[in-house]
Every structure is written in C-alpha cells, then in structure tokens.
Copies of this chain bind each other. A is one copy, B any other.
Amino acid sequence: MRAIQQKGKYSFVFSRYSEPVARVEPGEEVTLQTEDAFCGLLENEDDDLDEVKKRRGGPNPQTGPLYIEGARAGDTLKVHIINIEPARDWAVSCIQKDFGGLTPNKFTRMIDVPPHDKVYVYRFDNEGMLRCGDFLRFPWKPFLGTIATAPELEAVSSLTPFENGGNMDCPDIRPGNIVYLPVSVDGAYFFTGDCHANQGEGEVCGTALEISANVKLKFDIIKGKKIEWPRIESADEYMVAGSARPMEDAARIAYAELIEWMTEFGWDRLDAYQALTQAGKLYCANMVDTNYTMVAKAAKTLICRSAAR
C-alpha cells in the first residue's frame, strides 16, 4: 500500500492553488502522514506558546492536495476512513490566551483580558490511555479534525469548516466511517490533517489531543451527484455537518441538509422535518473555530423506512 508523505511544506489552506502531492486512483488504499496542529513544535509543558506559534508557519498544517483521478466538478467524493495510527508517543493540548470557546478571541472581542496560556502534554500509559497528570486521562479515540476538497475559487484557511468540509473537528469522522464531500474542481484536491487522539463535543478550549498520525484512506467517486454540505455515514447513522455562525445557522444547515438527504430516500420534506423533530440527534462538533459546526443525524433504520415507497 502506498504511503504518501507531504512534499515540501504543509498547506495552511484548502485550495486548488498548489500542486498535488500525489495522484490517487479510486479504490486504491493510501496512507497519509499528517502533522499535528502545532507542526510538532509544542512538546513540553514549559514551551513558550507564542514562540511556537511564530515558528510553525501556520495553524493546522494540511497534507495534500491529492489529485483524485476521475473526479470532476459536480461529483461527490466518498472517503472511507480505514485506520488512524499515532505517529508519535504523545499528544498535546493547550489553553490559549486568545482562542477558545470560553476565551475572548479574534471575533468575540473583549477588553483588557489577561493571558492564560497553559500547555498539556499527554503520553500513552500502560493501558493505552493518554495521560497528563493524575486527573486528565482519556482513551484513544482518534479522528480527522480536518478533511476537505478544494473550493472552486477560494483558498480557505485550514482553521475554517465550510461547505467542502475543512476544520469541522467532528469526532464522527473516525475509522470505519465514510465522509462524502462535494467536488468543486477537477481532481477534487483533497486535504486532511489535524488528527485528534480524542476530543469532546465542542472542543471547548480550542485544542483537542493533537497528534501527528498515519491515516489510511480509500476514495470513491459518485459521478454526477452534487451535495451541498459534508455528509457522514457510520454503520448505523446518516449525518450532516453544517458549519456557520451563529451556531443556530449551523444547526439549521445540518437539519435542512439531512432533510434533503432523506428526500433521496423517498421522504416528503415536511414528513422528514417531522421525523427528525422526534428522532434526530444534534450535537456540537466545535464551538471554537472560525465557523461553528453542528452535526445532525438519524438512525439508518428510520431514514430507510420509506425507501421502498
């Protein structure tokens, strides 16, 4: 199986404006090496976060773009997440003075608020848990923080979740699941990175258990099918990730697009709206990024109920 290393610099945008690092055939399994959100530079609890930020070149380095053979604008890219392996024996998180869900930040500005950077380094213990001190100990539940195709014309920051995916920080983008992304340019220009060893819903302080990882993926193309926002499929559920601000707009997108998806199974739109009212799930994937991400989902057993109509 082919291992793909990033040639040259990592990307800090999702865009068509750089050369593909590899060309991949549908159906081929590939392993991508990804770097962590701090470019591997934040390693000790007494590291100076400002210094690290200056040196890293940017936040959320991305591996890619991959050129997916046969993908054309207007198709849908189907990404099978097969496996995620840690590339190092540690993970890192931190509380930053200017980023986070309960921290004044670039968009939710406050006046005269003091710094409180704090770095947390986690190491695997004997039971395979990631541990930092006595109370912070979490299991290995890895997922892809970022996954995206390039937009048609924009170059989108690797901090941003948007219509083509991006920095959704959605724990359901994990091994065993499938992610569907819009294809906006020929070749799709696929990116991924920002793996997390674990993360709670909302990623409230703004950094999860950030890791470098080796990610095994396989791609398929659904020709001529156009979707508006990222979709996720697990063994049991169908999901849509909506990303916007304020958070209620993200929630609206997620449920509205899940209703659209249900119409493909034969549901009447109002009945789908009714069904999700009684049986949908709606959680927050991130409350910290440049857009907030809400994930709406429902059981396949519900959604498929009217397939035979």
Contacts and interface: CB of A to CB of B under 8 A. Distances in A.
A203 B26 CA distance: 39
B206 A277 contact: yes
A1 interface: no
A256 interface: yes
A138 B278 contact: yes
Contacts of A206: 277
A34 interface: no
Contacts of A208: 277-278
Copies in the complex: 4
Contacts of A281: 200-201, 283
With most chain B CB atoms within 10 A of its CB, the pick from A58, A102, A136, A198 is: A102
A108 B111 contact: no
Contacts of A112: 116, 269-270
Nearest to A279: B200
Contact of A104 (B110, B116, B279): B110
26 contacts: A93-B274, A95-B273, A102-B109, A102-B110, A104-B113, A109-B252, A110-B113, A112-B269, A112-B270, A118-B274, A136-B274, A136-B275, A137-B305, A138-B278, A199-B277, A199-B278, A200-B279, A201-B281, A204-B276, A206-B277, A208-B277, A208-B278, A245-B245, A247-B247, A247-B248, A282-B283
B201 A280 contact: yes
B110 A244 contact: no
Which bucket holds chain A's interface residue count?
Answer: 35 or more
Interface stretch (A12-20, A48-56, A179-187): A12-20
Interface string A172-195: 000000000000000000000000
A154 B156 contact: yes
A255 interface: yes
Given A13-B153, A282-B202, A284-B251, A111 B103 contact: yes
B246 A101 contact: no
Contacts of A156: 154
A208 B273 CA distance: 11
A108 B209 CA distance: 26
Nearest to A256: B109
Contacts of A138: 278-279
Contacts of A12: 153
Interface string A266-305: 0101110111111111111001000010101010000001
A124 interface: no
A21 interface: no
A148 interface: no
Given A58-B153, A246-B246, A278 B202 contact: no
